[in-house]
Structure 1
Amino acid sequence: MMQFPVSLKRLVPGSMASNRSAFIVAAMIATTVLSGCQTMKTLQTHVSGGTYNTFDGKLIESAEDRIADPVEVTPFTTLLDQFNVEQDGQQIGFNVRNRMETERAEALKELSARDLELRELQFNSIQELSGEGAKALTSYVYSIVSRLIEQWPHERPEISVAIIRSDNYSASMSANGILRLNTSVLLNADDEDEVAAIIAHELAHALLQHHNADDQQAIEDKSIIVASQFAAGWLAGNSDNAATQNAAKALMISGFGMYRINNSILYPGWKRHQEDEADLLAVDLLFRAGYDWERMTTVLERLDSEQKRVQAEKIAREQEIENSKKQLGEYTNLSDVLNVGLTNVGKDLSGMFDGLSDDHAPASERLLETKLYIQREYMDGDFPPEADTASLQKVVWEGPGFSAIKKSVYGERARILAERGDLEEALDLALKSLDGPTDTDPVARRIAYLARKEQGQKAKALLNLELAHQDPQAGMEIFKLLRDEYAERGRWDDALQTWHDALLKFPEQITAAIYFPERISLLARAGRKSGTIESLKQCQDLNISAYVSALCEEAAKPITSPDTPSETNSNSETAEKVGAPSVNWQSPS
């Protein structure tokens, strides 16, 4: 039997007649060939020696032809939606119609796309700067965005700003038009022109609709796989001839091979093409807005240094892991087990470091491209204007934004120290970042919780978690820590309420598959028989999956197994009130 290198499942029932199959396969292959625009652009860039060599004049003057159109529902995408393609558990492409229906449904909700995205960030403990000082900084950054976007001669997307607490010198633009600017940019930039250069680059991604180009590439990937695999299966199933079988295998392998080439060789180049476009358009926007356009090279030089630093840390960490493995191997007969564990840790850390730099093409290559473009288009004109240092100084270091920046700096340094295990020094910095005993900042309060717990001060540790839980920026980790602390103390009502609060705050992230096993476990450990049985029935009635049902049953065993004592907690009224989730769980059909 032919083995498919990817999982290809047709999502609609019934079989197709041979002539209809042949027509569909031919249509899909033809459309796939015609839709290879991203790949051709990539090849053109590689052959020409750089994006700036693929056009004459300034990029902004011909930018309209580069704006990527959104993926829309067509007969071809409708056909493609009938198939689910996976490789190594990762979905290739997406269902166009389902995404559009989801987006329309999200638009009808009270929360905006921006709010939903920020909620996702909070869930993962990535925090937006908050408070009065943060408002001043956000307003300042948005004034730069407005000044730049006014230079765009085409349709202007709606852009909003979120300043993220992070010590990484970077920014990003989401598909929802949210500019996420890390506080490290404001701290390390020499002047407003440098900040504007970073913003202009990210803004260029939105103006050129690069996320639409990514969607187009994903659809192209999926069509290649579906067309080749479907055609191979059709050929193999309609003839026992050896030549036909070999042709089917060749077709299957070639389709998979083309997908691998696209993603391993050409697609990173397509990403490079996007980055080049954003760099060059940023130069044009800076020039038109009256900023020093050469600051784009300053940004790329900083990014180049950052990438080299991250790579050096990655190499040093990998060496440290290797040394640890050797030492452990010498002193314990459990070396084989430990080596496996350390190898996995090494892979996780390696992936973490890779993630810091893989979002963008090598900065050194982009720097050269940008310098050549500036030399070609801007060296014959006026000198760049003098950079604006006063505005940045006034807002970040002297104005109302300083308090927010100070909190961010202390908090981030404390977080890094805590991750290294230096809780005493981390606690000192965390306390300095707090504005009094009632400050609920979740970063500082989490560190204080960890430090006080290590010191054996359980009451103070819990108090810090309770304060963090009250903060609007509290992430999922805070809710889990507080829930488990209450459970450890036998405060079951508080544990259940905290888990319920988490569900209310993160309804998109905490699915029924996550919520019910944890809830049932709390009820069962508390000895609450009726609540456990009721929640177990809810979980089973939803028919989420056999795996989730098994998790729920396992969580309920302290109650459902023989010789289980009756309810031990007399406060059943509170348990009932906390125990009825006000969420309309959707059972899969």
Structure 2
Amino acid sequence: MRKEMVLAVACLSLFGCQQMPTGSKPPLEGKFIDSPRARPLALQPMTNNPWLNNALVDRLAGAADPDEVRGFGKLDLTEQMAQVESFQVPQLQTYCDQVLGRLLAHWPHTKPDIKVRFSASESFGARATVDNVIYLNLGTLQAIESEDELAAMLGHEAAHMLLGHLDREHFFNQQKKLLDASVTAVSLGATLAGLESQKSGTSRKLVVGNPDAVGKTIVQSSLSGTLLKAVSDNFWNSSWTRAQEDEADLLSVDLLSRAGYSPRGAVHGIQRLQSFEGSNVSQLQRYQAQQKQLFSQAIQKKGVSGLLEQGIQSGVTAAQLAAVDVWKDFGKTHQLPAQREEALARYIASEYRSERRRSPQLASYQRQLLGGQSGKVLAGQVLINRATKAIYQGDLNEARRLAREVAQGPAAKSMRAQTLQFVLAVQQRRYKDALANLEQVPDSEWQYASLSSYDQIITLSLSLDRQAQAERYLQRGQVHWGNQLMAPLEISVHLQGERIVQAQQAYQSCLSSTSKGLLAQCESAIGRFKPQQQAPANPLEQLGLPSIGKLLGS
């Protein structure tokens, strides 16, 4: 047992999990923006570990294949619509950029280049991405009523970027990778330590000397690793995230007030979120609500014995769900909207007593949202959502009716609208019309096309012997997605054009990828034209294993 413990300690110290700042923060005095906490959160030095970008760690951790989510040929045409969720509204875009600029003018530190985009989701919310883009949901644009609320939504998401919060996801993903790798390494080390040389006829082979002991060590390390990962995900990560949400709320109020907006805009946004989410009932409460019916059925079927049986089962399950509720309460990444509303109201009353009396700017937002083309574009996006739902439900007549209505409005040439027309035309086997629809999409809209969309478009073009069209789409995809991710389609385009050497070169570029999904697609595309590979001289590589040098990242 001592040997296995040494292995565990060695593996953990080898991977060297990073430290997160865990010291408690001093209570806030005065405005958040003036406090020492209003600084970008620097995590880069902490994640500068040579093991983090290492093939051995990736293999031991079972690093996720990036193409499993957005790979080629894995989505049918109706699911393809769900991937094209972004859309453009030029006038509203300019308006949002101006509002965001007013807020950022009051940030005293370095300002990242933040962009605003629109998502077709009809839920209430917004999100910030690591590449400094704020996505405002269609449902949010429809729900809010004033420029102050818009500024609050933009300010909250921008605050995450200004304070460096978006490094958190990368940080914890790296920690999880190291932890997963260390647990796997303990299991692998225990197995290797238990190997013994055993004679078999005229040869010798390696076998596990004490399978029970090795198995016990592996089970123990797996259980310990699972517990550690659960604690990290549910307590460590979530509590830090909640603190960041609090900071983003406070900073957004500071920026709102200094930019001349009513700080109540932040409170109104949270109230709308609370209304959208509705009452949040725990699993335990839902479970208890079902018990009256179960107990009634049990006593009718088996009398008192049935009542006792149901009581025992219900008690056990209720205890389990109660534990889950407690665990989830610790693991929440956001406070409940009511708690956030109360905290912000106290902060505004304390720091912005006079500013809170400002009237919200209703007219300016209503003009931008409802007046001119912007309101019509948003209405068109709602129709596209309804048509997509109709396709999913198999009601193609309703989908076509809605598509005709979209075609009469200003959203007709958008990527989402033309993808809808493409999907409907393909389902009717009108392939030439399908491609003609996509030809109407402006170049600026092609940044919203998914990998799956390019797969469908290029494959269809090749099947209709439209080589030039396929190459044009390929070039667009390479601009937005990069050459390597588009390699399977590049191989297909070159083979169709009888450019064997270029196809083989594209295949060679695939071999440097660690994505199994991408490699499989390249293998399928190259087919019988796959170039001959030299047999590996290293014994490990002959067995399909990486060499020691590759494992160690050298």
Shorter-chain TM-score bucket reads 0.5 to 0.7
User: What residue is the counterpart of 1:207 in the other structure?
Assistant: 162
Counterpart among 231, 234, 242 of residue 264 in structure 1: 234
Matches of 2:60 and 2:279, distance apart in 1: 33
- Partner SS for 2:250: helix
User: What residue is the counterpart of 1:126 in the other structure?
Assistant: 85
User: What residue is the counterpart of 1:371 in the other structure?
Assistant: 342
1:387 CA drift (Å): 0.8
Amino acid at match of 2:359: E
Matches of 1:461 and 1:229, distance apart in 2: 49
- Whether the 8 Å CA contact 1:442–1:471 is kept in 2: the answer is no
Matches of 2:461 and 2:230, distance apart in 1: 49
User: What residue is the counterpart of 2:420 in the other structure?
Assistant: 447
Matched, 1:291 2:261: yes
- Partner SS for 1:157: coil
Matched, 1:535 2:503: yes
Matched, 1:188 2:162: no
1:364 CA drift (Å): 6.3
Amino acid at match of 2:116: V
Counterpart among 458, 467, 489 of residue 493 in structure 1: 467
Matches of 1:504 and 1:236, distance apart in 2: 45
User: What residue is the counterpart of 2:49 in the other structure?
Assistant: 77
User: What residue is the counterpart of 1:163 in the other structure?
Assistant: 118
User: What residue is the counterpart of 1:385 in the other structure?
Assistant: 358
1:254 CA drift (Å): 4.6
- Whether the 8 Å CA contact 1:484–1:495 is kept in 2: the answer is no
1:414 CA drift (Å): 3.0
1:532 CA drift (Å): 5.5
Matched, 1:480 2:455: yes
The 1:160–1:236 alpha-carbon spacing in structure 2 relative to 1, beyond 3 Å, is same
Amino acid at match of 1:212: D
Matched, 1:303 2:273: yes
- Whether the 8 Å CA contact 2:425–2:433 is kept in 1: the answer is yes
The 1:482–1:174 alpha-carbon spacing in structure 2 relative to 1, beyond 3 Å, is closer
- Whether the 8 Å CA contact 2:400–2:424 is kept in 1: the answer is yes
User: What residue is the counterpart of 2:398 in the other structure?
Assistant: 425
- Partner SS for 2:383: helix
User: What residue is the counterpart of 1:68 in the other structure?
Assistant: 41
User: What residue is the counterpart of 1:583 in the other structure?
Assistant: none
Matches of 1:25 and 1:436, distance apart in 2: 60
Post-superposition CA distance 1:151-171 (Å, at most 9, x none): 323333332222334423222
- Whether the 8 Å CA contact 1:414–1:444 is kept in 2: the answer is no
Matches of 1:158 and 1:466, distance apart in 2: 32
Post-superposition CA distance 1:413-446 (Å, at most 9, x none): 3333333333333333333333589953332223
Counterpart among 485, 489, 514 of residue 511 in structure 1: 485
- Partner SS for 1:72: helix
Q: TM-score normalised to the size of structure 1?
A: 0.60
- Partner SS for 1:161: strand
Post-superposition CA distance 1:296-345 (Å, at most 9, x none): 23222322343449999xx9xxxxxxxxxxxxxxxxxxxxxxxxxxxxxx
- Whether the 8 Å CA contact 1:161–1:179 is kept in 2: the answer is yes
Q: Which moved more, 1:56-65 or 1:172-181?
A: 56-65
User: What residue is the counterpart of 1:59 in the other structure?
Assistant: 32
User: What residue is the counterpart of 1:176 in the other structure?
Assistant: 131
Matches of 2:188 and 2:485, distance apart in 1: 37
Matches of 1:497 and 1:421, distance apart in 2: 33
- Partner SS for 2:256: helix
- Whether the 8 Å CA contact 1:157–1:177 is kept in 2: the answer is yes
Higher RCO by CA contacts (8 Å cutoff, separation 6 or greater): 2
User: What residue is the counterpart of 1:117 in the other structure?
Assistant: none
Q: Which moved more, 1:472-481 or 1:264-273?
A: 472-481
CA RMSD of aligned residues (A): 5.0
Question: Any unmatched runs of 5+ in structure 2?
Answer: 66-79, 196-209, 287-330, 531-552
Amino acid at match of 1:481: Q
- Whether the 8 Å CA contact 1:396–1:402 is kept in 2: the answer is yes
Amino acid at match of 2:507: C
Matches of 1:400 and 1:437, distance apart in 2: 7
Matches of 2:32 and 2:420, distance apart in 1: 48
Q: TM-score normalised to the size of structure 2?
A: 0.64
Amino acid at match of 1:36: M
- Whether the 8 Å CA contact 1:167–1:184 is kept in 2: the answer is yes
- Whether the 8 Å CA contact 2:87–2:119 is kept in 1: the answer is yes
The 1:548–1:196 alpha-carbon spacing in structure 2 relative to 1, beyond 3 Å, is closer
1:202 CA drift (Å): 0.5
Matches of 1:444 and 1:551, distance apart in 2: 29
- Whether the 8 Å CA contact 2:145–2:362 is kept in 1: the answer is yes
Matches of 2:10 and 2:91, distance apart in 1: 61
1:180 CA drift (Å): 2.0
Counterpart among 383, 388, 395 of residue 368 in structure 2: 395
Amino acid at match of 1:77: N
1:189 CA drift (Å): 1.0
Where does 1:91-130 land on structure 2 (aligned, <5 Å)? 124-129=83-88
1:540 CA drift (Å): 5.8
Count of matched residue pairs? 445
Amino acid at match of 1:89: G
- Whether the 8 Å CA contact 1:503–1:510 is kept in 2: the answer is no
- Whether the 8 Å CA contact 1:70–1:212 is kept in 2: the answer is yes
